[in-house]
Amino acid sequence: MSDIRAVLTDIEGTTSSIDFVKDVLFPYARQHLPAYVETHTDEPEVQHWLHEAAKEAGIVEATRGEIINLLIRWIDEDRKSTALKALQGMIWREGYESGAYVSHMYPEVAGRLKAWHEQGLKLYVYSSGSVPAQKLLFGFSENGDLTPLFSGYFDTQTGHKREVQSYRLIAEAIGLAPAQVLFLSDIREELDAAREAGMHTTHLVRPPLPMTDAGHPAVADFDAIQP
């Protein structure tokens, strides 16, 4: 993969465990969402995303309570809604800043990201979590602040992760040909879309998941990747 100039990484199931997202972040957002919406309801950004959530659900008129219930249902369904993800990010900030949790990183991830960075590779993140949530996750990690390693972040405002066009737009935004980018993910459909856009791909199959052939080069951890 000698022409690789940048690594674009997914988060959940790739740099960090699905359990951290499902058992720590989602429950925290679920628990704090009602009070957060009630106490921040006059903030334009909160208003904007509540409005976007209602629009996405096709709701013309709803009480605040109904929108809160809708968002809680979406958390339970792990819906990759841009509006929900933006609101979750705002709520998670309070959790990180109060020390309620730090983000999980698989043991080799921070070291490998640092090595790639030192080697001159540009590092980018692409996650369904909002860009502010991504910055928090890498800023408050078990391995300290990893944000200086990254050159940019992308979320579903660029497009959904299973759509080919999203990867074309990301390559354009970072100023590289898709063939100069290596995309890392645990999800086959995301890897398929990135490859169709022309990116190199590597499938993260984190133990104890059994190694499976999803049609992409597959590894158990970042130490096995040589961009």
Residues that bind ligand L4RZE5RM (CB under 6 A): 10-12, 21, 25, 80, 85, 127-129, 133-134, 137, 161
User: In the complex with Mg ion, which residue's Cβ is closer, 50 or 131?
Assistant: 131
> Which residue carries 């990135």 as its tokens?
194
CB of 3 to Mg ion, least distance (A): 25
CB of 15 to Mg ion, least distance (A): 9
User: In the complex with Mg ion, which residue's Cβ is closer, 11 or 91?
Assistant: 11
User: In the complex with ligand L4RZE5RM, which residue's Cβ is closer, 62 or 139?
Assistant: 139
Whether 221 and 106 have beta carbons less than 8 Å apart is answered as: yes
CB of 138 to ligand L4RZE5RM, least distance (A): 9
Nearest residue to ligand L4RZE5RM on Cβ basis? 129
Indicate which of Mg ion, ligand L4RZE5RM, none lies near residue 178 (CB less than 5 to 8 Å, by partner kind).
none
CA distance 227 to 225: 6
User: In the complex with Mg ion, which residue's Cβ is closer, 146 or 184?
Assistant: 184
CA distance 185 to 61: 38
Beta bridge partners of 6: 122, 181
Whether 5 and 117 have beta carbons less than 8 Å apart is answered as: no
**Considering only CA atoms, which of 37, 94, 45, 97 is closest in space to residue 67?**
37
Residues that bind Mg ion (CB under 5 A): 10, 12-13, 186
Beta bridge partners of 201: 183
User: In the complex with ligand L4RZE5RM, which residue's Cβ is closer, 120 or 148?
Assistant: 148
CB of 127 to ligand L4RZE5RM, least distance (A): 3
CB of 120 to ligand L4RZE5RM, least distance (A): 25
Which amino acid type is present at position 90?
A: M
User: In the complex with ligand L4RZE5RM, which residue's Cβ is closer, 11 or 171?
Assistant: 11
Six token digits for residue 58? 């096709």
CB of 10 to Mg ion, least distance (A): 4
CA distance 135 to 133: 5
Six token digits for residue 64? 């605040």
CA distance 91 to 99: 13
